[in-house]
Structure 1
Amino acid sequence: MLQTLLWSKPSFLKINPMSLRAFVSRLLSSHSNSHRSDNGLDSHGLEADNLNNGIKASAPNSNPPKSKWRHYLLQFLIALTLILSAVWLLLAIWYQFGGHSVITWLTIALIVGVLATLLGVNAWSKTAEKLMDRLTSERRISNKKSNVKKTNNKKTTTKKTATRWLVGSYAAIWVIGFGWFMTIEPKQQRDWMPEVSERVTYTRDATNPDLITLTNVRNFDWHNADAATERWETRTIDMSKLSGVDVTNSYWMGPLIAHTLVSFRFEDDRPLAFSFEIRKENGESFSALAGFFRRFELSLVAAEERDIIYTRSNARGEQVYLFPISHLQQHEVKALFKSYLIAADELNEEPTWYNTLISNCTNIIFYMARIVSDDRLPWDYRIWVSGWLPNYLHDVGMLDTNPEKTGQPWSMDTWYERTHINPKVKGFHNNNDIHGSEFSQQIRQGILIPSLADSRTDAKVGAKSAAQASNEY
């Protein structure tokens, strides 16, 4: 009998494969139940959970788990916003107080400490989940274990409280810092460097409003990049004799960044140049990044070309190019000149900040030129990439594509080759022609100077034709 029982196949093994899998599943479930019972969890509750999970898994039309990509995206954006706002505030304080200031380092320690603590308490995910629920008005599907210990709830509550407190503290710090930043005002009186120490002013002739007498026109003799013989002069010009405009680009930081100057030509007199620049203090140097943080006042310099262009091409060794602007009427040139006078009045009345992005040496000129040209200059990203300004002028037809009146139009490569100033003035002795036009004539060698358009129609037709030719070339 015993032998029969031993050698006979048990009846519970006589089942199909599906029943076998069910048995293994039950066996594993029993093993899991034993562990959960050891942890104080009710096995009946587990069976109920398993039953509910089985129903959800078998239901073909049940809602799928919520996608988490939006959660991670929002979490990333929150973290990025906090980091960028902190970097902005720290840079603003750094450029205002310097690296040796106690205020700078105390602020760095405070902000970094608050953000590091936020990371430590996992604030990113919790805050992101709350904002996600508010934005999407959806419920998150959670699989919470039953009978969770009260201590876990207390920890969660403590973490949320700490997160709220830290976020609120950081927000208060940033708002105070931003408010302080907005109260920083530009000044007229500082220890300025000699080349920007004076401000250009002017008067009109009582009998002839076209006669303008400018004071504090700079006419320095530059010996090297840092040393010059100072000379501030008074000069009278006749706006009725204006004959054209030249744009000069000086490259000192690669092909994308250039300083832009504008020269006004006259029929019977030497050109006069204007330049929007930062008003540097003694011992101060230019920084494009600092220009975002109210570090430099804006200055308008009126100068002789033998000073303001020579110092860049010869004294500093920057690569300088001069482009004569075509298809302009005299009233447009005159209006642009007047806009510089208005800018001088405004800066003398109330100083303003230089800004690397929105109020620099290039886009201020564009703002003024667009007004006086009846919006013939379209908006373009190259207005903010100053090194590409000549390419922009070429594409909109403000550079004559065929100045030699031959069958071969000038490409931008040709323009850059012909307008390069440095080879033309290499070895030029600047102090030999203090009030002459020798330097101005030399930098225009090999360039045909365009005449003014007779009418508005001629100007528009010429610009349109040049733009089409530049696009076809």
Structure 2
Amino acid sequence: MTRGWVASLWHGVLASLMALLIIASSGWAVLALWYRLPGPVALRYVAAGIWIAAALACCVGLFVKGWPQRAMLAYGILYLVLGVWWVSIQPASDRDWAPDVAHIVDGMRQDDHRVTLENVRHFQWRTPQDFDEHWDTRHYDLDRIRSVDLLVSYWMGPAIAHTLVSFGFDDGRHVTFSVEIRKERGEAFSTLGGFFKEYEVSIIAADERDIVRLRTNVRGEDVYLYRVKMSKPVMMDLFLAYLDEAHRLQREPRYYNTLTTNCTTLVYDMMRRIVPGLPFDYRLLLSGYLPEYVHSVGALAPHVPFARLKAAGHINARALQADDAEDFSVRIREGIPGADAPSYDMNDRDMKD
């Protein structure tokens, strides 16, 4: 009798664990069907309902004598079919893209230092829906690169932010690179959808009066700017790494992932190739805390407390005052520690021109 009771208890515990596994995995399956199943919304409701009913039937079967193995086999087959369908969903480069992500930047190198950027975005924004489209061709001499600035735009609480990297040149020009979701026309961003192959990923190069002003003046996001300490060779390598990554995306489109393939993790991957041994940190996933990570590795203004850097780096008021002025880039940097000096150390022989 004791053995029978122990066997019954063990069966109940095992069945409960398997049921929890089915329930957890079904949560992912239902969301995958909801976000990626083609067709009308009604079809997604039906597919999700069928999956839930089938999963519950399998859970019940786990507790019925003689049925546990059949229930797990049935669920395994069901999940295998879902997996085959999921793998078949591939990214593309020829969709009807939203205008602001219609083009991935394209860079051509004339020699070791001179590059031409095609499709540099320079939109005139009035509202997020009302704008004039401009895509420019611009030429840069990487020997004249002067600075790298990290911009962090907060749109959903303190932990989640969008990361941009802006390169400055000694002629006063700036070009900003941004890893962004590549929305289709009429599509809106969903953080949850970003886990389920909802968007491809793109790299946009843009004028600061476009991409920074859009966030500060048009969308009303809180934007912070920090001058990054970096040698000139590393700055040049990072600039070219953006172009290499853009070329790669043009050849081999990739899906954006809210956690693993986003505006912060891709920049970290590029920097890790340039600076081996760069430590990984949870703040690379919680991108709102990225500036603190950069400060902790000594890459922001030296000997300046982070609280002061953050307070001075909040550029919204200056951006609103500057609006679309020609000297927008100069005015948003006023008062930021280190922003009046190059990113590289002028006293370091290896970092000089």
TM-score, normalization by structure 2: 0.91
Partners of 1:313 and 1:422 within 8 A in 2: yes
Q: Which amino acid is 1:252 matched to?
A: W
Question: Residue in 2 aligned with 1:242?
Answer: 145
Partners of 1:213 and 1:234 within 8 A in 2: yes
What stretches of structure 1 move > 4 A for 4+ residues in a row? 65-76, 454-459
Q: What is the alpha-carbon distance in structure 2 between the residues aligned to residue 374 and residue 267 of structure 1?
A: 28
Question: Residue in 2 aligned with 1:425?
Answer: 319
Q: What is the alpha-carbon distance in structure 2 between the residues aligned to residue 109 and residue 278 of structure 1?
A: 30
Going from structure 1 to structure 2, the CA distance change for 1:367 and 1:73 (only over 3 Å counts) comes to farther
Partners of 1:394 and 1:412 within 8 A in 2: yes
Quick one: which of 225, 235, 239 aligns to 1:333?
235
Q: What is the alpha-carbon distance in structure 1 between the residues aligned to residue 145 and residue 17 of structure 2?
A: 54
Going from structure 1 to structure 2, the CA distance change for 1:73 and 1:99 (only over 3 Å counts) comes to farther
Q: Which amino acid is 1:311 matched to?
A: L
Q: What is the alpha-carbon distance in structure 2 between the residues aligned to residue 88 and residue 456 of structure 1?
A: 52
Q: What is the alpha-carbon distance in structure 1 between the residues aligned to residue 75 and residue 198 of structure 2?
A: 25
Going from structure 1 to structure 2, the CA distance change for 1:98 and 1:349 (only over 3 Å counts) comes to closer
Question: Residue in 2 aligned with 1:380?
Answer: 281
Q: What is the alpha-carbon distance in structure 1 between the residues aligned to residue 241 and residue 173 of structure 2?
A: 20
Question: Residue in 2 aligned with 1:78?
Answer: 18
Residues 1:194 and 2:99 are matched in the alignment? yes
Cα offset for 1:224?
Answer: 1.5
Residues 1:184 and 2:89 are matched in the alignment? yes
Q: Which amino acid is 2:286 matched to?
A: V
Partners of 2:175 and 2:208 within 8 A in 1: yes
Q: Bigger radius of gyration, 1 or 2?
A: 1
Q: Between the two proteins, what is the percent identity of the paired residues?
A: 37
**Corresponding residue pairs, total:** 347
Give the match's secondary structure for 1:360. Answer: coil
Partners of 1:329 and 1:455 within 8 A in 2: no
Going from structure 1 to structure 2, the CA distance change for 1:98 and 1:288 (only over 3 Å counts) comes to farther
* Deviations, residues 169-198 of structure 1 (Å, cap 9, x unaligned): 221111111111111111111111110112
* Deviations, residues 263-313 of structure 1 (Å, cap 9, x unaligned): 111122411100000001111111111111111000110000110000000
Q: What is the alpha-carbon distance in structure 1 between the residues aligned to residue 22 and residue 347 of structure 2?
A: 56
Give the match's secondary structure for 2:173. Answer: strand
Cα offset for 1:68?
Answer: 10
* Deviations, residues 310-353 of structure 1 (Å, cap 9, x unaligned): 00000000000001111x21111111111111011101112111
Question: Residue in 2 aligned with 1:416?
Answer: 310
Higher share in strand: 2
Higher relative contact order (CA 8 A, sep 6+): 2
Q: What is the alpha-carbon distance in structure 1 between the residues aligned to residue 181 and residue 307 of structure 2?
A: 31
Partners of 1:418 and 1:446 within 8 A in 2: yes
* Deviations, residues 210-236 of structure 1 (Å, cap 9, x unaligned): 110111100011111221111110000
RMSD: 2.6
Cα offset for 1:400?
Answer: 2.0
297-306 or 96-105, which deviates more: 96-105
Partners of 1:199 and 1:301 within 8 A in 2: yes
Task: Note the residue ranges of structure 1 that are not aligned, 5 or more in a row.
Answer: 1-48, 54-62, 125-158, 403-409, 460-473
Give the match's secondary structure for 1:180. Answer: helix
